[in-house]
Structure 1
């Protein structure tokens, strides 16, 4: 260590002497390179200033008292700066570690979402989910069984970050383990509620709407656990109706009964499920109204379902100056024939 300091001392002395005599740009460039070496050797700012003072005192005899005093003041200032700088570097390293952990969690979230294509001639399906930050509190799910029946869900974890990702993992695998209840939304939510209540912290809750579509009867059955109401579009009357349901959020108490509702879908009818990030967006300080959402959906209803959700998202994102204040999830299930 002493050899390193001595070598640095000699190098800096030669550099300073060269610059004072020639004012060379080359020396300034070398000084920049030397500063990088100092950082690599973990030299603190006060050590760098102390090095300069020692070298300068040796090179210039009989320094004015004011110059010596100014060096002492500068050194004291740099001691405080150095402590703050080291704390900053420590926080920066910790932030990088946290960012790395969040990236892993975000990838885990992405892996939990379904990516399979829906192969039903009678059904047009589209979904988009965009997090407001690196990680999302929203979760969506869809699955098609061997008989063509389709289950869909949109959930919102009241909580963010890694705990939310872990909750989503629990939800996914719990639903996967209940295949016999996929056509019974109320029963599925009741089973999920018992799982959630046993396995998440008291300050975390989950809202969810779950629905199942029967392609033979063209009926859509659904139930909600305190989730944002969706919409039903009637193609014959060109009107939207809210899917108002009652139900306690998941995880409050183990014994909850959920009411199940049903809709009959005619060709062109569709169901809209969403998260509150869609309806609680703001533009110019005011909330976007639910009526604004249905107007946008009607504007693009002639498009395939996936294009509808994409276009609605783009318009709402633009209305909010491309700054989402909450996670955004929008799902449309439409009967074709």
Structure 2
């Protein structure tokens, strides 16, 4: 190895002399090959500069003091550059490893939190959830009861990344562990509130809306823990009404109680559930207004529910200067005509 390096050093000096005297580009080609050999031998940039300085001193013993000083300055610069460059490379490798780990976690999250839309008599269901980053801080879940009812959960962790994803996984498995008799919206939120309050960092809170649709009564019962209000579309009147959703976010106080609300759905009525990532999207420097969101939802009303939510997201995402500020989750429930 040492003989190879010394041979490359001697060749570098020879080609430097040829180039200085003739300006022959063939010498530059040889220098390129030498540089590849230096890389294989793990020769650092500052060592190459030092080789260059020594070659100049041998070729031109009477080299001016100014040129000598400039080469010393270059050498010191390259030493600092080499240290900084190595630090950057180390950071890039750490960043790549972290991204790989986050991607694995995101894939696991998609598996753990996956939910299927069940077939519910008289109801068409559409749902879309798009994370701003790799990990999704939003959560939605559907549960079909033995009586044919539909449980709908939509939640948002105040706090993002891996901790939020772990929190959502805990909530999902907590809901799965509840007996069906306890799947009433108020009971779900009260039980989850105790789980979150006991097991989640005090600086992390969860907003959640839980609803239960009863097809035999065409009724939606729901309760909210500080979640973004949903909207009820009254087909007979042709207007949207904001759903009343008072309630403290999960995890603040251990014995919080929640009020239950209800809606009777007629043919053509719709329920819109969403996270604040929908209403906090931006066009350039301004937030998208709630009325704009509802207008777009109404625009694609003729579509089946799943296409409906996808077209709404696509509409915003295709706009110039569109920017998501948070995870985007939208659920639309349509009562069959």
Per the TM superposition, whether the score is higher than 0.5 is yes
Output one character per residue of 1:52-93: Cα deviation in whole Å (capped at 9) or x when no partner.
222333344433333222211111222222222222222222
CA distance in 2 between counterparts of 1:68 and 1:47 reads 16
**Does the 8 Å CA contact 1:232/1:269 hold for their aligned counterparts?**
yes
Match of 2:185 in 1: 185
Partner Cα distance (1:214, 1:333) in 2: 13
Match of 1:68 in 2: 68
Greater shift in the superposed pair: 207-216 or 222-231: 207-216
Q: Deviations over 1:242-284 (max 9, x none)?
A: 1121111111121110111111111111111100011122224
Partner of 1:106: 106
What's the counterpart of residue 155 of structure 1?
Answer: 155
Contact 2:117-2:125 within 8 A present in 1 as well:
no
Q: Which moved more, 1:138-147 or 1:206-215?
A: 138-147
Q: Is the 1:103–1:134 Cα contact (8 Å) retained in structure 2?
A: yes
Aligned partner of 1:127 in structure 2 is 127
Q: Distance in 2 between matches of 1:212 and 1:37?
A: 70
Mean alpha-carbon deviation: is it higher for 9-18 or for 284-293?
9-18
Q: CA RMSD in A?
A: 2.3
Indicate the SS of the match to 2:323.
Answer: coil
Give the SS at the match of 1:135.
coil
Q: Which residue of structure 2 lines up, in the alignment, with residue 254 of structure 1?
A: 254
Closer, same or farther: CA 44–265 of 1 in aligned 2, 3 Å: same
CA distance, structure 2, for counterparts of residue 136 and residue 33 of structure 1? 49
Cross-structure match for 1:116: 116
Deviates more, 1:300-309 or 1:54-63: 54-63
Q: Which moved more, 1:316-325 or 1:161-170?
A: 316-325
Q: In the alignment, what sits opposite 2:53?
A: 53
Aligned length: 337
- After superposition, where does 1:207-246 map in structure 2 within 5 Å? 207-246=207-246
Summarize the Cα distance change of 1:181–1:281 in structure 2 as closer, same or farther, 3 Å threshold. Answer: farther
Match of 1:85 in 2: 85
Helix, strand or coil at the partner of 2:116 = coil
TM-score by length of 2: 0.91
Distance of aligned partners of 1:326 and 1:83 in 2 relative to their CA distance in 1, 3 Å threshold: same
Q: Which runs of 5+ in 1 are unaligned?
A: none
Show CA shifts across 1:268-310 (max 9, x none): 1111110001112222422222111111111111111111111
> Does the 8 Å contact 1:181/1:188 carry over to 2?
no
Matched, 1:315 2:315: yes
Shift of 1:19: 4.3
Q: Contact 2:221–2:262 (CA<8 Å) still a contact in 1?
A: yes
Cα distance, 1:30 vs. partner?
A: 5.0
Structure 2 vs 1, CA of residues 292 and 44 (structure 1 numbering), >3 Å: closer, same or farther? same
Distance 1:148 1:12 in 2: 82
Single out whichever of 30-39 and 151-160 deviates more from structure 2.
30-39
